[in-house]
Structure 1
């Protein structure tokens, strides 16, 4: 009869236990994994997938849940297959910033004027109005820029469009990033707010004189008629806000001024007043 020493018996027992654990792990059932859009992870079994919901039960439970497909990012099935249902939520900045490649030295003393926001009676005006103010400010500043080079509005707008930057999503970008996109050191930005106030009426009276001479005498008879007309002119209250940023997103000029005149184009005089007092203006 063959006998085992105590040490050999212990080793044999350990080998038996290891073989059993390995066999158990190999036969253990795998489960499905649901990942929701909010990051939650659910482990269990997917029983059915319909057009709008998924029937699901957690591991070790019998209760069946109906989960909306609109809440699910993906499912990793026990077989290893992955099925994606919804794309993850978009981040705030969906368009990558593409810089011009200009170095700090190349951007030095270069200025870009952004399209100004124009709000009239609480509503944003058409893009053409913003572009008009941008062009007017460019013309005014470029004549008195001194050592600064003011980039043309068309070149500025082309670079903004290529980078996917619009007035609607501009708050997703820092001014430093926009400076890199435009290849400039300074950016001029602002807003014009205009609201209707009172109406002024102007009256005008005209008189028509008709003189008739009698055939048999030197007497003259006069007759005439008067006509009155009136014209109404709409008055406005206009305020302009103008800021200048550098390529570190720092505000180097920040002024707000109410227009002295009450006409629709009163912002032009206000713009000239603000530009003449900004650090980029040279006499």
Structure 2
């Protein structure tokens, strides 16, 4: 029994040391052709397979090279594999393979909406999601006006984009042909919101002058008084860029500046452009 306990303690110590060593070492990344990312430690590579272990584990897993698009090694080196043989991939307009979803005819997808401060070039992830939801809900509310088109569920759209490594920060860099294949749709609505801000301050002063009154034949001078109220107003200057595509062809493209310079004025521009797009018919 004592020998077994000693052996168990040694094994536990070995596992702990190995886990610690793994934690201090930068992991390798295997990017599969279906856009799955595996963080691991690669032990062996051949023309046919790659053997790796997961963090904290000693078990080695074998993966066929035919399933791999790229490996980013912890050392900083990257190795790209042939993507032409991917069974679930289609050639893109950029020459690389993209995971193609099942095509759903007469379906429109709403892309994430980049929301960018033109002065600082900072992007807001929360506002990008909010703007995408706003367009999606507007199309759903007017589903009768866009018949025979149906709107792809937003969760489906974002899930497919996430698997492809696409979000609001790089959506503009992805060709529309690739987006249609990734999302499995033949219609896309895309928008971008850029803005600048300025402030205006005003101050209002209210007060009274001094007065002299008589008190037992003595003159008494009262104190002056005044009140100042400051007010700061924030102004937003938007440019809303709006595009629609059908079978990779741009069928509508407009840029609009809201009439008002309020924080939510971009919403009015989105509404205006949607109603005047070619997919919208009055009922």
TM-score (norm 1): 0.55
Task: Determine the structure 2 residue equivalent to 1:111.
Answer: 108
TM-aligned CA deviation for residue 124 of structure 1: 3.1
Task: Determine the structure 2 residue equivalent to 1:256.
Answer: 255
Task: Determine the structure 2 residue equivalent to 1:101.
Answer: 102
Per-residue Cα deviation, 1:134-182 (whole angstroms, up to 9, x for no partner): 0011111221133121123222110111223344554664312211221
Change beyond 3 A, Cα 1:238–1:143: same
Task: Determine the structure 1 residue equivalent to 2:133.
Answer: 135
Contact 2:113–2:168, Cα closer than 8 Å, also in 1: no
Structure 1 residue runs of 5 or longer lacking an equivalent are 1-85, 208-222
How far apart, CA to CA, are the structure 1 residues paired with 2:122 and 2:249? 27
Contact 1:95–1:163, Cα closer than 8 Å, also in 2: no
Contact 1:95–1:164, Cα closer than 8 Å, also in 2: no
Which structure has the larger Rg over C-alpha atoms?
1
TM-aligned CA deviation for residue 95 of structure 1: 7.1
Change beyond 3 A, Cα 1:95–1:161: farther
Task: Determine the structure 1 residue equivalent to 2:266.
Answer: 267
Change beyond 3 A, Cα 1:107–1:224: farther
Secondary structure of 1:269's match? helix
Contact 1:113–1:156, Cα closer than 8 Å, also in 2: yes
TM-aligned CA deviation for residue 122 of structure 1: 3.7
Give the CA RMSD over aligned residues: 3.1
Task: Determine the structure 2 residue equivalent to 1:183.
Answer: 184
State how 1:1-283 maps to structure 2 within 5 Å: 96-102=97-103, 106-108=104-106, 110-120=107-117, 121-146=119-144, 147=147, 148-170=149-171, 173-197=174-198, 199-203=199-203, 227-247=227-247, 249-283=248-282
TM-aligned CA deviation for residue 90 of structure 1: 8.7
Structure 2 residue runs of 5 or longer lacking an equivalent are 1-76, 83-91, 208-222
How far apart, CA to CA, are the structure 1 residues paired with 2:263 and 2:159? 29
Contact 2:239–2:256, Cα closer than 8 Å, also in 1: yes
Secondary structure of 2:270's match? helix
TM-score (norm 2): 0.55
Per-residue Cα deviation, 1:83-128 (whole angstroms, up to 9, x for no partner): xxx76679997973111122xxx322x1101011111124132212
Change beyond 3 A, Cα 1:171–1:194: closer
Aligned length: 179
